[in-house]
Amino acid sequence: MANAKVSIALAGNPNSGKTTIFNSVTGARQHVGNYPGVTVEKREGFRRYRDKELLIVDLPGTYSLTAHSVDELVARNFIIKDKPDVIVDILDASNLERNLYLAVQLLELERPIVVALNMTDVAENMGTKIDEQVLSRKLGVAVVRTVGNRHNGIDELLAATVKVAEEKAQKPFIINYGDAVEGKIAEISALLAEERHNLHFPLRWLAIKLLENDPEIRNTVQALPGGVRVTTVVAAARESLQATFETEPELAIANLRYQFVGSLCQDVIVSKRDGWLTTSDKVDRVLTNRLLGLPVFLGLMWLLFNMVFTIGAYPQEWLEEGVAAIGAYAGLYMPAGDLKSLVVDGIIGGVGGVIVFLPNILLLFLGIAVLEDSGYMARAAFIMDKIMHSVGLHGKSFIPLLLGFGCSVPAIMGTRSLENPRDRLVTILVTPLMSCSARLPVYTLLIAAFFSESMAGTVLFSVYVLGIVLAVIMARVFRSVLFKGEPEPFVMELPPYRVPTLQSICMHMWERSVLYLKKAGTIILAVSILVWFMVNYPSEVNYSKDYQELIAQAEAGFSQQVAEQVGAPLNIAAVEDYALLQTVITDISTINEEFEEQVEGLEEDSPELVALTTAKETKLQEIQAANTELYPWAMRYLELKTENEEQIEHFQKEEAGEKLAQSYAGQLGKFIEPAIRPLGFDWRSGIGLIAAFTAKEVLVSTMGTIYNVGEADEGSVALQQALANDSSFTPLIAYSLMVFVLIYSPCLAALAVIKRESNSWKWPIFATIYTTTLAWIMSFLVYQIGSLLGY
């Protein structure tokens, strides 16, 4: 089999360490997609091992193969229909009995299998020792001990897997279900043998599934030429078994399978320490404590959001400078005209304005990955279960809601873990109220422009908390009105605490950042170009004033004032002719510019500001002492120059404002302005909100295009300053806008997933209407109440 390709399917329970082993084996050579026809995530990775090319598929984590959920059905169908060369079943050694239930079901599929006895270190710390040789002999397959997060046993696992692939054989694995069940299995198998050419499944396994009333298998057999005869016999067999066991046949078979697994565990577990508290148990006494659990959780969330904002500011500033440099370089070498404006203002200003927030996105996913991989995320669901039940939801619903902080798309897909259809739909509808990472650039921009650094983390935290509160309220409303019924009881495994692996965290961050950048290169690029066109056209505008003439008059007035108030007293024709005066003016200007850069972002009356002001005055006094006669004239020249620049900037803003107001974007914004004016927004904010319907972060690039900061020398800082200097914007309006962005319509991608998950256009349309209405109400309350209170 030199240079042969070997396909390997990784199977296992959730939290068995399956994905950790997948990452350990494949590294960066992996990609994520969806299985055809469903929204279940498909992970594939590649590994060169000796002379083999390994294709590793990470199957969805499942507890069984009874196909009660989409995940179970996908895993089962992949094994049966795609026929991987080897199945590697990952067992959590610390929960061996529960994990073996899936293992024996996989063995019944009669496919080549290798068992990875994972997390053996955790099991041994609990006092549990497992004889893997006995386990191997009982199951009839190779068993390899592994510790995935330490890369222990990975080479041995690969070697065993390749060996099994080369042998291409698997001994039949049979559980004796007792005379009553075995008789029915034999009877049905004999009937199925006549249809074998139409089947893809092992006959014994197929017979068991028919007795378990598996819907997919039942429908498959029913469609066969002799299917009606088979299903009639199966129905009679099920009635007979129900009379024998006095319970549903599927429950009876499951109990018999558990009895086999229990007996197997007694044979392979050589020592077990009963009543011993693990480290996880001890930590849970604090983190899941009835009184401390919720405050600890909220504290961790608060720390996460402050980390995102404060630490992310440094790399964000570097990216801003890089984007600004690219814009300046492009503007320097491109001739003036529409093409230059499109490249600098539309593409670089738009896409670049979103890319600069990549560090914040990475930090957010870093925090979520650590919480998830450490095992705390499941505790968060447990802690919130009582609250979730109070609003009619399942505790498991909180996991998709938490994932919604990263992105609504995988969060909505994550609702597949909820068995109850009502719980699923309610969770899908309230998940978009969780503040996804796409909204973070909008918050970061507005917070940086209108709130002090000491307030930034608290303001951001309040927006995220508002989303949680609204999700809880709306879930109660939906459960009481649209989806009446009792909530499901909370049943969920709390995995042991683990130290997250660096590789796993980096892979998680890498995947999400690539998705973010792909969006910046596709949707955001397209919308940026569209917004640029709408802002710049029609190009012919009827201005109320001749602004070019006004600017020329201002320049002429400045030259005349300089000549009269500086040139004449010094008896010079022009300031440039007097070298010493020019030097003094340059020195004073340099000191003032340095001071403005140093004090940017400092609070008024802060010690740093006072010290810098004193240092500036000292330097100016030194220049004045060295140039006593020229200093006053230099200061007067700078005063006149500042007044002239302010006057010209005023005319340019007026001209740009009139051009924008008469553009296609301005016309659209003014059309919807009456509807958003009660929220504090003007027509420019309206344009941004319409564009951000495609993707929330587009609001940043849209505002950058509207405020024409594409050529600004400080990147996004220029947009922050433009917003802060806009008299129509206040901190209250900025907060109102953040609230609206938090709540209103899910993005196009999220709406598409809602449609796929609900299999109906009704629910994405409903989600758009109800969230936008709720956003209007909440922003109205924020702005109007804030205005009444004097904010």
Q: From residue 166, how far is each of 1, 3, 202, 717 by CA, in Å?
A: 7, 12, 21, 61
The answer on whether 119 is annotated among ligand-binding residues is yes
The answer on whether 13 is annotated among ligand-binding residues is yes
The answer on whether 289 is annotated among ligand-binding residues is no
The answer on whether 38 is annotated among ligand-binding residues is yes
The answer on whether 427 is annotated among ligand-binding residues is no
The answer on whether 18 is annotated among ligand-binding residues is yes
Q: How many helices (H) and strands (E) does the chain have?
A: 37, 9
The answer on whether 663 is annotated among ligand-binding residues is no
> What DSSP string describes 689-747?
HHHTTT-TTHHHHHHHHHTT-TT-TTTHHHHHHHHHH-TT--HHHHHHHHHHHHHS---
Please provide residue 57's backbone torsions phi and psi, each rounded to the nearest 5 degrees.
Answer: -110, 120
The answer on whether 224 is annotated among ligand-binding residues is no
Give kind and range of the element (H or E) at residue 63: none
Taking a C-beta distance cutoff of 8 angstroms, is the pair 172, 203 a contact? no
Share in percent of the chain as helix, strand, coil (round to 5): 70, 5, 25
**Rounded Cα–Cα distance for residues 715 and 323 (Å):** 6
Q: From residue 77, how far is each of 303, 431, 483 by CA, in Å?
A: 43, 29, 32
**Rounded Cα–Cα distance for residues 213 and 246 (Å):** 16
Place of tokens 């692939």: 165
The answer on whether 60 is annotated among ligand-binding residues is yes
The answer on whether 571 is annotated among ligand-binding residues is no
Please provide residue 8's backbone torsions phi and psi, each rounded to the nearest 5 degrees.
Answer: -130, 130
Residues making up the chain, counted from first to last: 791
3-class DSSP state of 142:
strand
Burial class (CB in 10 A: 0-12, 13-18, 19+), 666: buried
Tokens of residue 59, six digits: 């199957």
The answer on whether 118 is annotated among ligand-binding residues is yes
The number of angstroms, rounded, from the C-alpha of 438 to the middle of its chain's C-alpha atoms is 8
One-letter amino acid at 493 equals: E
The answer on whether 374 is annotated among ligand-binding residues is no
**Rounded Cα–Cα distance for residues 155 and 157 (Å):** 5
The answer on whether 69 is annotated among ligand-binding residues is no
One-letter amino acid at 13 equals: N
The answer on whether 704 is annotated among ligand-binding residues is no
Taking a C-beta distance cutoff of 8 angstroms, is the pair 330, 344 a contact? yes
**Rounded Cα–Cα distance for residues 92 and 17 (Å):** 7
Taking a C-beta distance cutoff of 8 angstroms, is the pair 517, 355 a contact? yes
Tokens of residue 310, six digits: 């404060």
In 151-252, the DSSP E strands lie at none
The answer on whether 61 is annotated among ligand-binding residues is yes
The answer on whether 176 is annotated among ligand-binding residues is no
Burial class (CB in 10 A: 0-12, 13-18, 19+), 374: middle
Taking a C-beta distance cutoff of 8 angstroms, is the pair 495, 375 a contact? yes
Taking a C-beta distance cutoff of 8 angstroms, is the pair 105, 177 a contact? no
Taking a C-beta distance cutoff of 8 angstroms, is the pair 296, 382 a contact? no
**Rounded Cα–Cα distance for residues 594 and 613 (Å):** 11
The answer on whether 319 is annotated among ligand-binding residues is no
The answer on whether 15 is annotated among ligand-binding residues is yes
3-class DSSP state of 225:
coil
The answer on whether 511 is annotated among ligand-binding residues is no
Taking a C-beta distance cutoff of 8 angstroms, is the pair 347, 525 a contact? yes
> What DSSP string describes 491-533?
----PPP-PPPHHHHHHHHHHHHHHHHHHHHTHHHHHHHHHHH
The answer on whether 58 is annotated among ligand-binding residues is yes
The answer on whether 226 is annotated among ligand-binding residues is no
Tokens of residue 455, six digits: 């307030």
The answer on whether 23 is annotated among ligand-binding residues is yes
The answer on whether 94 is annotated among ligand-binding residues is no
Binding residue positions: 12-19, 23-24, 26-27, 37-41, 58-61, 118-121
Binding residue positions for GTP: 12-19, 37-41, 58-61, 118-121
Binding residue positions for Mg(2+): 23-24, 26-27
